[in-house]
Structure 1
Amino acid sequence: MRFDMESLRIFVAVVEEGSIAAASVRTHLVASAVSKRVSDLESDAGTLLLYRHSRGVQATPAGEALYRHARRMIEHLQQIADELSEYSEGLRGHTRIYVNFTAMVQYLPGPLHSFLRANPEVRVDMVEKRSDEVVQAIASGIADLGLCSATPGTLGDLQWRPYSTDTLVLIVPPDHRLATRSSIEFAEALDDEFVSMQHGTSISKLCRAAAERSGKRLRVRIEVTSFEGVRNMVGAGLGLGVLPEDSVRPYLHSAPLRVVKLEDPWAMRPLLLLARNFETLPLPARMLVDHLEQARKRAS
């Protein structure tokens, strides 16, 4: 197949919008031109890429495969354009790091601030994603570096370095029956309702998997998008929560919370620094790796 980037952009728009008409508005083309581009792609591929129905369109399995690859190609091209424009404006370096929520709020603000202060000519783009999406971004080359909760056996050919250990704890209201316990197994708390991080986040996945292994279901009363949301809802007596210990301890003096340690092995999460190959990273990314590792050593 001979891929035309403009046709791929149009195809991505069609899949994401779910209709030819909506994609034509997004791409500023008439609907017939959009439809012709998609038909030409299907002809070149020798297979159907879209299911067409009265409510719009939906990607076929082949269309889904093309969409995933096309989306990555478009992101790569945008990164190239962004970096070249930065060089033309006098900026001498650029790196992109994908991180999970824990890394973003707990581990990176200070080190990133000191790195950029010491290296004002370098631009760092940080993108927050779920841990599995961080791994995918490194594998596909969208990002130079990743920092997330992962186990080495799930990383394939990616290289990794230990960065920290993230300890998860149970948080409960001060008048809860478990508030006087110093530690428990997670299964002991499963008769209660929980305030959970969003479905799909690594903490949510760990809690749900642990509940299933205990033969129970995690009873989620509320889903929130931040550690602060979990703390506030638990403090209001709306359920129990599971959070990294470092995200709770600083607030215990002012929040109506108690911390109970979890005895389960999964509560100790390794936080890993990821790259396709640390030795071949662009210079700005290597500089950032060195800075993060030195900052972590100083902190420990």
Structure 2
Amino acid sequence: MRYELTDLRLFQAIADAQGLSAGAAAVHITPSAASYRIKNLEQAMGTTLFVRTARGMELTPAGETLLSHVRELLLGVERMHGEVGRFSSGLKGHIRLLANSSSLNGFVIPSVSRFLNEHPDVNIDLEERASPAIVAAIAAQEADIGILAGDSAAADVRSTPYAVDELVIITPLTHQLAGKPEIQFVAALEFDFVSMNRTSSNFLFLREMSQRAGKSPNVRLHVPSFEGILTLVEAGVGIAMVPRTVATPAIREGRVASVRLAEPWALRQLHLIVRSEGRLPSFTTAFAEYLVNDPAVAATRHTVAAPLPG
């Protein structure tokens, strides 16, 4: 039974990508070499690990079992390199981070950019996902750190308070909601919306809260960024529900108006989560501490009900 760490990294990459070519590209080898290595790994394991389908590569039950062990093994190897790396100068490593749209755009990106500038030998894979999906992904070792809104209680993850943010309604300056101190969310649903794209956590949350109110939001346009939303609201295309941190610059500049939502769910506690079992590599631990201790982030944990600017 002979195989290398490269074979296991390739196996994990193909499983994550659900495709041979994409998995091969992730570990920088050709598809033909990848196919050879996977056949060798299956021979060494004595069982089929993938089923080739029209949709790509799907894991067999044996493959699912192996993937769980491979994730744990590679995490241990990464932790080993991280701890040994402390004896050389600087942090070195690769971190996988998942965040919901509110934390990503309001807090995470500024922190990440500063961290990367300070640690040039650390690389970060950053992906947006909806909050419920982040918990499952961290528990399954698909990522190292997750930042999400709402309840993060799960047996397989450990949670730390990260930041406090608030969802607000932004409107054109001349809109009939502009100037109101507070409204019920259902009142906002009487008007046209603009929103992030249909797969974004921001839109999924807007749709879920609308359904709980017995309505469906009339979204005139989906755009890929919050800046696009702010521009469309300023132009009078519709209103939007966005994180307060995202809207603050545009509110201060007098581009849009804002109004608070009366619903308790509008004020949201963001959490940082990691797996509850096993130790993180030193560079991942250092990054998690950097995120939590960022002064701009930490300040929100003490200013839950500060007034809106403007």
Q: Same fold (TM over 0.5)?
A: yes
Structure 2 residue 182 is the aligned partner of structure 1 residue 183: yes
Go from structure 1 to structure 2 and tell me whether the alpha carbon gap of 1:62 and 1:177 turns closer, same or farther (over 3 Å shift).
farther
In the alignment, what sits opposite 1:222? 221
Structure 2 residue 266 is the aligned partner of structure 1 residue 267: yes
Structure 1 contact 86–92 (Cα < 8 Å) conserved: yes
Q: TM-score, normalising length from structure 1?
A: 0.70
| AA matched with 1:289 | E
Alignment of 1:121-270 (within 5 A): 123=122, 125=124, 127-130=126-129, 131-141=131-141, 143-153=143-153, 155-270=154-269
Deviations 1:3-26 (A, max 9, x none): 876666666777747688x979x9
Go from structure 1 to structure 2 and tell me whether the alpha carbon gap of 1:209 and 1:279 turns closer, same or farther (over 3 Å shift).
same
Alignment of 1:4-153 (within 5 A): 16=17, 28=30, 30=32, 34=35, 37=38, 41=42, 49-50=50-51, 52=53, 57=56, 59=58, 62=61, 65=64, 69=68, 72=71, 76=75, 79=78, 83=82, 90-92=89-91, 94=93, 96=95, 98=97, 99-108=99-108, 123=122, 125=124, 127-130=126-129, 131-141=131-141, 143-153=143-153
Go from structure 1 to structure 2 and tell me whether the alpha carbon gap of 1:232 and 1:9 turns closer, same or farther (over 3 Å shift).
same
Deviation at 1:195, TM superposition (A): 1.3
Deviation at 1:212, TM superposition (A): 1.0
Deviations 1:72-109 (A, max 9, x none): 57975995798599679743465736233433433346
How far apart, CA to CA, are the structure 2 residues paired with 1:113 and 1:48? 39
Cα RMSD over matched residues?
4.8
How far apart, CA to CA, are the structure 1 residues paired with 2:230 and 2:6? 47
Deviation at 1:298, TM superposition (A): 5.3
Structure 1 contact 97–125 (Cα < 8 Å) conserved: yes
Q: Secondary structure at the match of 1:152?
A: coil
Deviation at 1:247, TM superposition (A): 1.6
How far apart, CA to CA, are the structure 2 residues paired with 1:110 and 1:19? 35
Go from structure 1 to structure 2 and tell me whether the alpha carbon gap of 1:200 and 1:10 turns closer, same or farther (over 3 Å shift).
same
Q: Which is worse superposed, 258-267 or 213-222?
A: 213-222
Structure 2 contact 79–281 (Cα < 8 Å) conserved: no
Structure 2: 5+ residue stretches without partners: 303-310
| AA matched with 1:106 | G
How far apart, CA to CA, are the structure 2 residues paired with 1:218 and 1:190? 6
What is the aligned-residue identity percentage? Answer: 25
Q: TM-score, normalising length from structure 2?
A: 0.69
Structure 2 contact 149–268 (Cα < 8 Å) conserved: yes
